[in-house]
Chain A
Amino acid sequence: MDFSETLQSASEALTLNKLRTALATLGVVIGIGAVIALISLGQSSQKAVEAQIQSLGSNLLTVMPGAQTSGGVRQAAGGATTLTYEDAKGILTSSQITTVQNVSAELSRRAQVTAGRNNTNTQILGVTPAYQEVRKINLSSGSFITQRDVDSLSKVAVLGPQVVTDLFGEGANPAGETIRINRMAFRVVGITTPKGGSGFLNQDDMVFVPLTTAQKQLFGVDYVGSISVEAKNEKVMNQARDEVGYFLLDRHKLSDPAQADFTIFSQEDVLGAASQVTGTFTALLSGIAAISLLVGGIGIMNIMFVTVTERTREIGLRKALGAKKKWVITQFLAESVILTSAGGILGMLLGAILSFVIAQFINLPFTISLSSVFLAVGVSGGIGILFGWYPAQKAANLSPIEALRYE
């Protein structure tokens, strides 16, 4: 019995009972396919979450007013009125601040917007030209708010695509048209490209107007809602945060940082919170993958065990006819290897196809990691071979008389 002879009799034995072979292969295919699909879907969604957070901009600081402590009571950030457009200009022009490349002051309120017979309630965002740079706003037509608009309190507006749809209908180009915000007429000068997002963060459902117009004409205030600070790069984030913080303390004539009437957030703070979420997410997915690996493994174990055990009589016969123990074991091992290899390859394909289809369906990036393939094929294949070999060597160790009597 040489190697090719063993392989030949193993593959012959596999073709004899096609249903049994098909079922055993299917067990392996499902086991391996499910694990690969689950792991790669998990990794895809993790990537999607990370990419979304990254797209917010990783070198951005946000200064919110408030959060000063008075008499031990800490006020909610954003509730106060302590930041001004002058603060924003100061940050950009101060000689003490070396790490900041762009500053944008914003004031945001909800208001009723009408155009002809249509009207909508949306977010009005008073901005400076720097906003476009800092928040990476792209226009599908027209231009953004200019410095001249800000200086001269122009009544111009840039619309988000959702607002365009609400007021003028899908796909309309209302550049040059007039809209009314709180009954005040504004000329539409530009439309932003769709950015996605949802809820109060929906960047498509916004109307941009010059900051000064929003402050003085629309809402009658002299403060800003927040200041966005873009650092020169990610490495100087901490330095930028300190510089901006001390500059504002100085400007507000406060000596103790604990007295600060503003709060500075970085994207890293947001990322930190999010990475905690994705960490839990990853742990959950690893758990699911481990369980499916276990379930797949047990499935493979069962089918291999039953397949070989029901052939105990055959093993007895082969031994009675002169097969040596090691030949019997080698043949069954060869059968398990052929079966699990075939199942492994098909399982990999199934897993890849499955995760591709699902990723397409729920709109995730498709990734498949080599490590998940190795894990699935390694563990499931190992189990398949082990549980093909174990009952075979048990049966081969029986005396041929006992094995022949086996029912």
Chain B
Amino acid sequence: MIKASHLSKIYRNDSVATVALDDVSFEIKKGEFVAIMGPSGSGKSTLMHIIGALDIPTSGTYLLDGEEVGKLSEDELADIRNRKIGFVFQAYNLLPRTTALKNIILPMVYAGIPKEEREKRAADLLEMVGLGDRLQSTSSQLSGGQQQRVAIARSLANNPSIILADEPTGNLATAQGEEIMEIFQELNEKGHTVIMITHESYIAEHARRIIHLKDGKVVEDNGNHKQRRVNHNN
């Protein structure tokens, strides 16, 4: 599903070159739950941008479902993001003053899904993340945890290949963070591929596989840890 070979990313700012990624290679298969971990400055955000088709590598190849993303035009990248990637951001990034339902509908509008279908699907997704009674709530009427669940529902709107979460619990209290992890684990069990960026090992341990980055390089990549399971109390 994902095949990254020798990815490098160099930022040039006023003739000073900063190496953010240095010869990174890995593969992620369908149905995996991977955490990408590392301290700040390790290049994990840069890697997330490349995986999410928000940015392209300076060198190396990144294949997503067999397509080389680095060679695509801006509009084609937008299309990849729309259909194949489901973003979950640290700051939720919901449209302000917009209902939960409309937030989830947005990516489907860009995908050209007919109106009745997208409204039904958005309602189903909200039901799935446990917010079936908050369809018409705007983000300011929802708690942080609820907003992040709306964001997860939005990420699933176009049934993407990958759910890509960037510090999804960074703005949340531990208990709410646990709820988010529970949803990710459930989604993963249903067959969704989840890639999560975090700097907290406690959160990373909820994944099945952890890729450690440091100074732009992969320093460790294993699934040897015991996956931390969130207690299902229902």
Contacts and interface: CB of A to CB of B under 8 A. Distances in A.
Given A1-B110, A5-B109, A322-B110, A317 B81 contact: no
Interface string A308-344: 0000011001111111110100000000000000000
Contacts of A313: 93
Given A314-B95, A401-B49, A404-B93, A321 B54 contact: no
Interface residues of B, number: 27
B110 A323 contact: yes
A203 B106 CA distance: 76
A1 B112 contact: yes
Contacts of A400: 54, 81
Interface in A374-407: 399-401, 404
Contacts, number: 63
Interface string A55-71: 00000000000000000
B82 A322 contact: yes
Contacts of A95: none
Q: Which of A17, A318, A400, A404 has the most B CB atoms < 10 Å from its CB?
A: A400
B131 to A, nearest CB: 19
Nearest to A314: B95
A325 B95 CA distance: 18
A231 to B, nearest CB: 75
> Taking chain A's interface residues, is the majority helix, strand, or loop, or is none over half, making it mixed?
helix
A318 B109 CA distance: 11
A320 B51 CA distance: 12
B25 to A, nearest CB: 23
A17 B140 CA distance: 13
Interface string B44-56: 0000010010110
A219 B81 CA distance: 104
B96 interface: yes
Contact of B55 (A5, A325, A401): A401
B112 A322 contact: no
Given A1-B112, A5-B109, A321 B97 contact: no
B57 interface: no
A201 interface: no
Interface of A: 1, 5, 9, 12, 16-17, 313-314, 317-325, 327, 399-401, 404
13 contacts: A1-B110, A313-B93, A317-B93, A318-B110, A321-B81, A322-B78, A322-B110, A323-B78, A323-B110, A324-B74, A327-B110, A401-B49, A404-B89
